[in-house]
Amino acid sequence: MINTSIHQQEASTLGYLTTHVLDTVSGVPAEGMAIELYMLEPPLDGGSEGAWLFLRSVKTNAEGRLDRPLLSGDDFKAGSYRLIFDVAAYFKARGQILPEPAFLGRVPLDFGVADAQLHYHVPLLVSPWAYSTYRGS
């Protein structure tokens, strides 16, 4: 099922960032997965590394997607980003028995945006024991 609200919004925006999550244990979209978005700020005082700036927190819908892009328009800039997916909380909420601590707790995905005029889609395919990602379309 296609979420037309995202696709209509995407059509009016040049550059934007989206994600979705698939639960590979159950073979379903990961509804209710908590996700945090951060952007790496430039280093202060000529330091070698900047700090991660929290941008927003969201939860996936019934399709494992978001109701709108994470970032778009002037808010979407070239740079380094981090998505953190709360995998353990999602699987615990579904009744999955996990060890303590869980093998995968909060999964961080760091990625770069070289051209903020493009669509960057960062999906996560996940189980309590493994995950994969790719640059989607």
pTM score, two decimals? 0.87
- Taking a C-beta distance cutoff of 8 angstroms, is the pair 67, 5 a contact? yes
Model confidence pLDDT, tens digit, residues 69-106 = 999 999 999 999 999 999 999 999 999 999 999 999 99
Structure tokens at 70: 């994470």
* 4-133 fold: Immunoglobulin-like (2.60.40)
Model confidence pLDDT, tens digit, residues 42-59 = 887 766 788 999 999 999
